[in-house]
Amino acid sequence: MDLTELQEIAEQERKSQKPVQIRCCVAAGCLSANSEAVKKRLEEAVKASGLENQVQVSGVGCMRLCCQGSLVHVATQNEPESLGTLYQKVTPEDAPEIIAALNGEQTKVQQGDLTHPFFTKQLPIVLENSGKVNPDRIESYIAAGGYQALYHVLREMSPAEVVDTITRSGLRGRGGAGYPTGVKWATVAKAKGERKFVICNADEGDPGAFMDRSVLESDPHRVLEGMAIAAYAVGATQGYIYVRAEYPIAISRLQTAIRQAQRLGLLGSQIFESPFDFKIDIRIGAGAYVCGEETALMASIEGKRGTPHPRPPYPAESGLWGYPTLINNVETFANISPIIRKGAEWFASIGTEKSKGTKVFALAGKICNTGLIEVPMGTPLRLIVEELGGGVPGGGEAKAVQTGGPSGGCIPASAFDTSVDYESLTALGSMMGSGGMIVMDQSTNMVDVAKFFMEFCMDESCGKCIPCRVGTVQLYRLLSKIREGKASLADLELLEELCDMVKNTSLCGLGQSAPNPVFSTLRYFRDEYLALIKESQAQEQLNV
């Protein structure tokens, strides 16, 4: 495979496209709304109307407005995504009517507004191909510019130049901690070892989070290309994608993508006729949340029980089977190819001084527009909730937004003017996390929120260290006692002391961050805790 062959594949794919494109979302969210049947009925309706030469029906990935699935987008060839017609809540029975509308007939099928801020105020970089390319066809990805960045890297750049580009871009890891990606790559590149590995952490387990799953289902080759570029930069020859078993569609599409890339010589030996060899295998996790922690993840890949171990040594020095290992998450790898194509300066011009680029969020909860959004770092939280999200259903008032999953915290409505970046969220007692964003309205009891996340952490604790194994159980019991109106002020004091202990003595990030939802709800909604305790004390006095 050389550049000419790659360009020929892209040109053939573009020529094969028909004047009218009907894209049907076949990501998990829409599949649950029967989108496969919708796609099949659309194909049948096209054939029945004799439009096979003019209309092409294809399955694509996530179209982002998940709450309105099944989604179908109709556009003419090469028409901008902002144009055309978006049909929502489509059923198989709507298919003939959608096809009839191509000839100017009236349709009662519900249409979406592509000029709504949900679409117009996003900046898709990671999601630029989602809803456009066919995830089951490598040719579709190549026609969208896929694998050209890998060619450029292998034929025109040295590994050090690749690391320098990523460093200058300011990209930080999108898995939660926000560690500078270029620094991590440079550390692995300098590490000595007979072998090196690259791992994609796709063990997405936060409640309400579905960013990584959507990228893998919609644009799997983008992640493979990013991993290959990273491997070249650090000197690795073997990659692993660690993905949880609960993502069967993502796994299936990754398996297909790997086979296709191998067939075309884009993975394997002497990629693009260069000396670079790189192979990718999939490892399927059993769904243990703790395996999102990198040392537990590596233990699982090695066939051991997925429990963490103390650091140092860090994976960059001694990782998988004791060899230097680079670990990034799905969204981080999905940013690599556009940075190479458009340049470090382009990416660094987006976002804030310390938080560059965009961030993908799974917007969920008490909000009108639930789905995937991608916005520049520094976007005000209020703009996300009120404009992109459309506010609380029925004109209600938002009370808080929970970011960062079980590791994050709850941000009150009074702080919604805060910009979304690593430093600002940390200052509020929350964190970016992998990108879950759950909106709560005035009916939400914040003690319930803290209790919910503590129960999750309690259940997901691997049990290796006592502070997490026992501490999360005791915290859950204290929160239950408060919620049931049976607690005293002494219990509240004990709750805070125990949170501090668990945070500062647990072995890994699961236990260290488990108290965060409690800390943040106590910080901003302490009156709700006190109200329940006051109710308990009043009840005791009545009983006396």
Name the percent of the chain lying above pLDDT 90: 85
Q: What string of DSSP letters covers 18-68?
A: -SEEEEEE-SHHHHTTTHHHHHHHHHHHHHHTT-TTTEEEEEE---S-GGG
DSSP 8-state secondary structure symbol assigned to residue 115:
T
Predicted local distance difference test score (pLDDT) of residue 541: 64
Predicted local distance difference test score (pLDDT) of residue 543: 64
Residue 81 pLDDT > 80: no
DSSP 8-state secondary structure symbol assigned to residue 384:
I
Residue 539 pLDDT > 90: no
User: What is the separation of C-alpha 530 from the centre of its chain, rounded to a whole number of angstroms?
Assistant: 36
CA end-to-end span of the chain: 85
The b/e string for 260-295 (b: 16+ C-beta within 10 A; e otherwise) is: bbeebebbeeebbeeebebbbebbbbeebbbbbbbb
SS (H, E, C) 300-361: HHCCCCCCCCCCCCCCCCCCHHHCCEEEEEHHHHHCHHHHHHHCHHHHHCCECCCCECEEEE
Cα 117 to Cα 110, 113, 122, 129, 435: the distances in Å are 18, 9, 8, 19, 20
Question: pLDDT tens, 39-77?
Answer: 999 999 999 999 999 999 999 999 999 999 899 999 987
| 475 within 8 A of 425, measured Cβ to Cβ | no
Cα 189 to Cα 76, 159, 160, 185, 323: the distances in Å are 46, 8, 8, 6, 12
pTM for the full predicted model: 0.95
Q: Which two tokens stand for residue 208?
A: 């309400």
Q: How many CB atoms lie within 10 A of CB 468?
A: 26
Q: Which two tokens stand for residue 322?
A: 């004791």
Predicted local distance difference test score (pLDDT) of residue 534: 87
Residues 6+ apart with CB under 8 A from 118: 64, 65, 369, 371, 373, 387, 388, 389, 390
Question: pLDDT tens, 251-285?
Answer: 999 999 999 999 999 999 999 999 999 999 999 99
Identify the H or E element spanning 467: helix 466-483
Predicted local distance difference test score (pLDDT) of residue 287: 87
Spatial distance between the Cα atoms of 533 and 130, rounded to a whole number of angstroms: 49
Question: pLDDT tens, 411-459?
Answer: 999 999 999 999 999 899 988 887 889 999 999 999 999 999 999 999 9
- Torsion sign across C-alpha atoms 333, 335, 341, 347: negative
Question: pLDDT tens, 94-139?
Answer: 999 999 999 888 899 999 999 999 999 999 999 999 999 999 999 9
Question: pLDDT tens, 332-352?
Answer: 999 999 999 999 999 999 999
Question: pLDDT tens, 178-233?
Answer: 899 999 999 999 999 999 999 999 998 888 888 999 999 999 999 999 999 999 99
Predicted local distance difference test score (pLDDT) of residue 236: 97
